[in-house]
Amino acid sequence: MLRTKLLITDITEVPREWIFEHYLQLQEKLTGQDVKIKSVFNKNERTPSMCIYYASNNTYKYKDFSTGKSGDAINLVMEITTPKLTTRGETAHKIIEDYNSFLLNSKDGYEMRNFKKRSKYKVVDFTTRSWSNFDEKYWGKFHINSKLLEFYNVTALSEYKLQKEDENGEIVEQVIKSTNMYGYFRKDGTLYKIYHPLVKDYKFIKVQDYIQGMDQLTMKVPYLIICSSLKDIMAFKKLGYNNAEAIAPDSENTMIQEHVIIALKHKYKSICTLFDNDPAGLESMKKYEEKYELPYVVLPMSKDLSDSVRDTTLTKVRETLTPLLKEVFIKRLKTNELDISG
């Protein structure tokens, strides 16, 4: 493998994997794989939620799911350096200085790596199963019954098959089996997500882009709530707001496209976001407010709406949520006459 000790003057000459390894002090060398670590932005985090991944443009980037922060190597250094750097040019200059210092003080220089992006597994098949007592008990904690699951096209799965191409061009298969995982389907029967609630990592396997709950919208009520998940949508449905319905993006960190928001604004009198009550959820709601001028509601109970329903009662959640929704919508509509209950 080629090694270099040549000093550089241009940021494009600094290997992006070196930047991540150096500033995050990674123990694992980046060779095209994705790496998950504890968030450098959330010191209280217990379960790693920050992903360093090899992007489609053949460079490393990061995504921190606990705070919603994301970007390239330069963005990362701007965020974590003290005192804080304010421009990309200033940051690039620091990175060049640090890289040259590393080369001067390194015995062997830097090992240049030529690697190609490793293909990711894709879901190619799945097998459904009948509902079990476990399923009824799990969803029942959130007051979600089989009728509601059927309405939102949630089906129990026994297994699904993953495929990817290895470095030699060979097809590699993996079959995941479980008695407690679920498929989220569109109205036309297309699988868009797999939910595995009892695993620590990769609870959700995204199969394709889809705005959750879109197939169920009537667009005949005045208010729309954008939640953080399908489970929150179903919990909201159980609260019995006849004058409001709900959708959710792929995740809190995924922005619904502008043309969709514009179309929805023509269908509803008012729209607000109701994401998780944590730093990542709050940051995402602020992004929707800044980009689309959508107000947001923070539910001061559990982490999210469905957990609040699980941890208390439907009545208690409704009593807490209703005045918050009224306050947001009254302020937006500039009226004192508002019936969110229907």
Q: Quick: pLDDT tens for 25-81.
A: 998 888 888 889 999 988 877 778 899 988 866 789 998 877 778 899 999 999 999
Which pLDDT score is estimated for 266?
A: 94
Of 210, 238, 266, which residue constitutes the final position of a domain? 210
Distance CA 307, CA 49 (A): 20
Joined tokens for residue 169: 């061009």
Residues 206 and 216 placed together within one structural domain of the fold:
no
> In 169-209, where do the E strands start and end?
171-185, 191-195, 204-206
Residues 20 and 98 placed together within one structural domain of the fold:
yes
| SS3 at position 273 | strand
Residues 195 and 219 placed together within one structural domain of the fold:
no
Residue 246, beta-bridge partner list:
225
Contacts of 244 (CB under 8 A, 6+ apart): 221, 222, 223, 224, 225, 236, 325, 340, 342
Residues 234 and 201 placed together within one structural domain of the fold:
no
Which pLDDT score is estimated for 306?
A: 95
Given a cut of 70, whether residue 4 has pLDDT beyond it is: no
Joined tokens for residue 321: 């949520």
Of 91, 111, 131, which residue constitutes the final position of a domain? 111
Distance CA 212, CA 210 (A): 6
pTM (global) more than 0.75: no
Backbone angles phi, psi at 274, to 5 degrees: -140, 80
Q: How far is CA 289 from the centre of its chain?
A: 18
Residues 215 and 335 placed together within one structural domain of the fold:
yes
Residues 8 and 75 placed together within one structural domain of the fold:
yes
Q: What is the pLDDT of residues 126-184, one digit of tens each?
A: 999 999 999 999 999 999 999 999 999 999 999 999 988 776 777 888 899 999 999 99
- AA identity, residue 237: K
Residues 86 and 22 placed together within one structural domain of the fold:
yes
Given a cut of 50, whether residue 337 has pLDDT beyond it is: no
Distance CA 184, CA 251 (A): 14
Residues 14 and 72 placed together within one structural domain of the fold:
yes
Q: The domain that contains 229 carries what CATH number?
A: 3.40.1360.10
Distance CA 301, CA 303 (A): 7
Write down how long the chain is.
342
Q: Which domain holds residue 127?
A: 119-210
Distance CA 281, CA 303 (A): 9
Residues 16 and 46 placed together within one structural domain of the fold:
yes
Tally the domains of the chain: 3
